[in-house]
Structure 1
Amino acid sequence: MVRSLLVVLLLAVALPGAVLAAPPDHTPWTALLEAHVRPTGDGASTVVDYDGFARDRLALNRYLDRLSAVTRSDFDRWSADERLAFLINAYNGYTIVLVLSGWPDLKSIKDLGGWLRTPWEKRFFRLLGERRSLDDVEHGLIRGSGRYGEPRIHFAVNCASIGCPALRREAYLGDRLEEQLEDQARRFLGDESRNRVTDDAVAVSPLFKWYREDFTAGWRGADSLGAFLALYADALGPRRVNHMALEAGDLPVRFLTYDWRLNSASPPRER
């Protein structure tokens, strides 16, 4: 027994990278989300208490500093689900930081942009050894890496707007990622303020137009937007959807207007 323990300790000293390679603890992020994210009346979406996040800014910064300290070599040792959960949590955490940079007089995250770049193009944090923007994380590390092929990330990364899918009240975790992404997809598609079935069409969020290529790239066999939505026909509100008509493209898909107002639990205060 003593000999076995000695071997473990020697390996820990000789191979420090193996110890450091574990994903960071996302428990502090869950605690912040539970404290400052509230479900709406129907439970399908959430609003954010940005005043609360501002009060807990030190705890938020400590958590994000842990993410920023992760090296690329350690990150690459993790499973694909652990990497993806890490990136989603980082995106959502730094989105809160971006909003706080303009709070409390911010009406939309788009107001943080300028003439030459959007707010998502601002490089204001470090991740995996480089200075990053939110676009770098979403389009470069998540969508552009070619390693994930996961369209449901669009229901998980949160753009701090009423029109976007809910900010989940818990951190994403590698060992629960499938369950969490599936729940996010069903919650978003079942939210009639963002996606709904009419008499002659399915009206959905512009997310499906902006990222159509992600939803039609063959995930679970879906090679068209109708085919992807048919996978969730039972989640699209209380009306029954003709699954076969939707998949065949016989049921038109229309796009609603995106609501870019801030997803705040309280209105912004004018300074």
Structure 2
Amino acid sequence: MKILISSLLLLFSFSTFAAPKSELWDYWNVSNEKNATTISHQYWQQTLDKYLMTKGEFTLFYYANVTDADERTLNSYLRQMSRIDPREYKKAEQYAYWVNLYNAITVKIILDNYPIKSITKLGGLFSFGPWDEEVIIVAGKALTLNDIEHRILRPIWNDPRTHYAVNCASLGCPNLQSKAFTARNSDKLLDKAATEFINSNKGVLIQEDKVQLSSIYDWFAVDFGNQTQLFKHLKKYRPELKSFKGDIRYDYDWSLNKQ
């Protein structure tokens, strides 16, 4: 009976999963372009330096090896970020802030629940992952991961490369970058992340007359445009790609990105 219930819940989760729409939360669409102050992401960088490693086309995280002291460092970083009102900073500084915050919170969620096989196992009874759970308070507002990605990052910046920046702790996801985002390096990091993903099998796998794309390009098709526009985007980072006229398959591996 338990196996049947678990199977039904799994089918329910996958069959009802749909990518959230990009819907602006006006409260966050404010900036101070005269503010030259930078936000320090040193603690997040320390975490990445110590526990992130590259293996083939993946970057994997040593969740099992994180010490109590280093987990406290990560928690300190999140407390620092929660005390900041990003609206007081330049938009470029804000972008790095939100991407790093999203990724750091995701790592913390995994650490708080480790060991698990997939982030999709977290959340409520009928939830597909923890993305709708309130995880931090910033400038007096309780935020979920979906708020950060779909109500702030996507609608304010309208840059499809954001999908290569935020990491969902899964093998099918674009890699967690080894460098923390900053106002100065964000554009280069976004191009680097796009290049890595589009040149990986998990991003774009071509076999003779068939092509398999990451489900990201299906879920967020509105951000990449029609098929012609999508392949124009892909070709920018993988020049040998040609426009594809056949059927496209989509796939995504939700297994945890653990080492």
- Normalised by the size of structure 2, how large is the TM-score? 0.80
Alpha-carbon shift at residue 234 of structure 1 (Å): 6.2
* 1:113 and 2:123 are equivalent in the alignment: yes
2:213 corresponds, among 204, 208, 213, to: 204
Corresponding letter in the other structure for 2:188: E
Distance 1:92 1:138, change over 3 A: same
How much has 1:21 moved relative to structure 2? 7.6
Q: Which residue of 2 aligns with 1:122?
A: 133
Establish whether residue 194 from structure 1 lines up as the match of residue 203 from structure 2. yes
C-alpha deviations, 1:90-110, integer Å up to 9, x for none? 000000111112112x11101
Structure 2 CA distance for aligned equivalents of residues 179 and 79 of structure 1: 18
> Could you tell me whether the CA contact under 8 Å between 1:158 and 1:166 is conserved in 2?
yes
Matched residues in 2 for 1:203 and 1:178: separation? 27
Change (3 A) 1:184 1:194: same
Name the % identity.
28
Among 161, 165, 171, the residue aligned to 1:156: 165
Deviation at 1:162, TM superposition (A): 0.8
Residue by residue over 1:130-177, the C-alpha shift from the partner in whole angstroms, topping out at 9 and shown as x without a partner, is 11111111111112xx32111101011000011101011110111111
Corresponding residue of 1:10 = none
Aligned residue identity for 1:36? Y
Return the letter of the residue paired with 1:64.
L
The number of residue pairs the alignment matches comes to 226
* 2:60 is the alignment partner of 1:47: yes
Given residue 107 of structure 1, which amino acid in structure 2 is its aligned partner?
K
Matched, 1:37 2:37: no
Structure 1 alignment gaps of length 5 or more? 1-16, 217-223, 266-271
Instruction: Give the secondary-structure state (helix, strand or coil) at the position aligned to 1:137.
Output: helix
Residues in 1 aligned to 2:194 and 2:40: alpha-carbon distance in whole angstroms? 25
Residue identity in the other structure for 2:177: R
Partner of 1:58: 72
Partner of 1:96: 107
Contact 1:37 1:169 in 2 (8 A): yes
Closer/same/farther in 2, CA of residues 183 and 253 from structure 1, 3 Å limit? farther
Please report the RMSD computed on the Cα atoms of aligned residues, expressed in angstroms: 2.3
Question: Which segments of 5 or more consecutive residues in structure 2 lack a partner in the other structure?
Answer: 1-31
